[in-house]
Structure 1
Amino acid sequence: AAPVNIHRVDWIWANPEVLARAGIEAMPTTWDEFNAAADALLAAGITPLAHGGQPWQDATIFENVVLSVGGADFFRAALVDLDQDALNSPTMVAAFDQLRRMRGYVDPNFSGRDWNLATAMVMNGEAAFQIMGDWAKGEFLAAGKVPGEDFLCAPTPGNGFVLNSDSFTFFKVSGEDNIAGQKLLASLIMSPGFQATFNLAKGSIPARTDVQLEAFDACAQRSHDDLLKATEANALVPSMAHEMAISRSVRGEFLDLATEFFNSNMSSEDAAERLAAAVKRAM
């Protein structure tokens, strides 16, 4: 396969003018800070978290919280290796506790909302934050918004990096012309020029780590630097929500449980127990 980009899933996007209306001067670096900011926004009559109530979006927030609460080793144990002890553990309960807290920060009409409409809520000042991968940045840029001025970016709390990537897969073919065509396409995809041009528009960063980033914004440069640091620290993890980590059938159990939890009064303890049981059945 020829990867065209690297998406970072664990981003928080924000509208600085909306934050200022609630007296919030900096992006949160811990969940306690996020919760305090969200409570201040609620008190000011502002929707803290723009969210689309679709299973994959619920799972996106869930996996980011799991990484923040448990760290990269726990993330891999629970969401990649599917370890039963990790899935039904106090750490997982704590992750569900934070997810439950965040349920109170979305607006009443979140159910079924597409992710780009949630991005538009932040862009238009209807909400303060969105937790979404850096494809959301492409929406801001397409609307002519300037990073650092019209919108802010910061990783979700923690020191990891949740990876997603788009790529072209090449099947085994016969015939010299077919093989030559595949090699040509792969070389074009992996060329520095294409990697830069494509990712400047998409909001992601080049899969090649040697591409010059002078034309990229501060969010992309932060993503690149954090990718290298996470790789060095063994804190780079594949996204479960975005089909980089586990089979589709097992992933479906995570999505179903995350959505049911987000839309019910299920306790965190029951959620962890039910998640472990559902994953075990699906394996």
Structure 2
Amino acid sequence: MDNDYQSESFRFFGLCDALREARHVVVLTGAGISAESGVPTFRDVMTGLWAKYNPQKLATPQAFERDPKLVWEWYAWRRELVSKVEPNAGHRALVDLAQRVPRLTLITQNVDGLHQRAGSQDVIELHGNIQRVKCAKEGTVIERWEETGEVPPRCPNCGGWLRPDVVWFGEVLPVQAFNDAALAALDSNVFLSVGTSGLVEPAASLPLIAVRRGARVVLVNPEETPLLHEDVDFLCGPAGVMLPALIQETWPSEAD
């Protein structure tokens, strides 16, 4: 554990036992864990070339209908930003945790794919993935298409526009993904909410579901969030420090 966080070790009291005894650990991650890798938050990317645009007017179905070329190019720029960063110690710690508990379900609100790049398997992506593309008309994921110079490109199946496979403002979350996430929360013994504001619904309801079912719920965040109350533990610090430290505290003889 980093020296700066030695004084925080008391916060793990009891949580280490809960993790060792847990049958099912569920983790929900948000923008905070990716920000530690250098991924700009949603509003941070609206600088320079894009400063004159309102992000909520670039991330809606209406915006795409109005100016599909602009929206496609904005997401292409964001994909380039994401491609230049690497998973951090927080992402890697969750891969490690998955190998130490009987069952771990990883749910993310992030669209950057960093969990998968770190080695996490079967990630539930509530908001999609910026690296994937789907047909705006049919909703099917498209892996290959003919490059004709059109922006955005056309679906090879129906000729409709292609768009990023992400959830825009005004759109509902993928039904199967959210149902799987909610069922996991109901079944969890320990629920970690990592780098999330606790403000974005319906994902914000997941730790509350776990609390009501009697799970140990822990927030991992550099600052307090609206979810913090007496039934929830709080580890104050960045995920890249707190998660590896938690694993080291829980399995000291096995941790590197």
Note whether the superposition's TM-score is higher than 0.5: no
Q: Which has the higher helix share?
A: 1
Q: Which has the higher contact order (CA 8 A, sep 6+)?
A: 1
Give TM-score scaled by structure 2 length. Answer: 0.28
Give TM-score scaled by structure 1 length. Answer: 0.26
Q: Which has the higher strand share?
A: 2
